[in-house]
Amino acid sequence: MILSDIQILGEMKKGTIKIEPFHEECLGTNSYDVHLGKTLALYVDDVLDAKQHNKIEKFEIPEEGYVLQPGKFYLGVTLEYTETHAHVPFLEGKSSTGRLGIDIHATAGKGDVGFCNHWTLEISVHKPCRVYAGMPIGQLIYFDVNGDVKTKYNTKSNAKYGTRSSEPVESMMFKNASLPGQIWIKRP
């Protein structure tokens, strides 16, 4: 079940959902609009390696905006810091963003119960498109969880994206090989 606007506000009063900064005019019927933060990043190397730490270069979006180019993969970040302690948050693009040919996530649209951070965006575009810090970029939708949660994300010892950051965070896939509970299946 997706939470309605009234339910989102109720959960915020209970402290199970936190959105900073929060502006009630950004609250939709069953979602909350999030905005593009001021920092973007690009991977340094042309070839990425899932077993290595792939470095990124971060830069700020200038006042006049920044033109995203097709064929490049950008990491962005939400302006909003969020906490979700009892629901599963989903980040989706807004229809207005999609109609500009902007994809805001490659595969990582779902958060976990206990996710407490800014959202890193995995941005690609179909045509050159100028974007601006603070523009609406996506929407958060909250789902009820059926049953108890054994371990919330913010209490996992192997949580790779738990350190609070208002800047984009590169892939931490390379950590999977050394973290408890993270396995790489051996080739047969």
Q: State which residues of the chain have pLDDT below 70.
A: 177-188
pTM: 0.90
Return the pLDDT at 177. Answer: 63
d(CA 61, CA 120): 15
Q: In the structure encoding, which two tokens stand for residue 62, read together?
A: 């200038």
Put residue 11 in one of left, alpha, beta given phi > 0 → left and psi -120 to 50 → alpha: alpha
Q: What does the pLDDT look like over 158-183, one tens digit per residue?
A: 777 877 889 888 888 877 766 555 66
* Strand, helix or coil for residue 7: helix
**Cα distances (Å, whole numbers) of residue 96 to 2, 105, 135:** 21, 15, 11
Tell me what the pLDDT averaged over the chain comes to.
Answer: 91
Residue type at 61 in one-letter notation: I
Residue 92 bears catalytic tag: no
d(CA 33, CA 21): 11
Active-site annotation holder among 11, 20, 122, 167? 122
Domains annotated for the chain, with CATH where assigned, are 5-146+162-177 (2.70.40.10)
Q: What does the pLDDT look like over 82-111, one tens digit per residue?
A: 999 999 999 999 999 999 999 998 777 888
Return the pLDDT at 108. Answer: 72
Q: In the structure encoding, which two tokens stand for residue 50, read together?
A: 């899932």
Burial 54-73 (b: 16+ CB within 10 A, else e): bebeeeebeeeebebeeeee
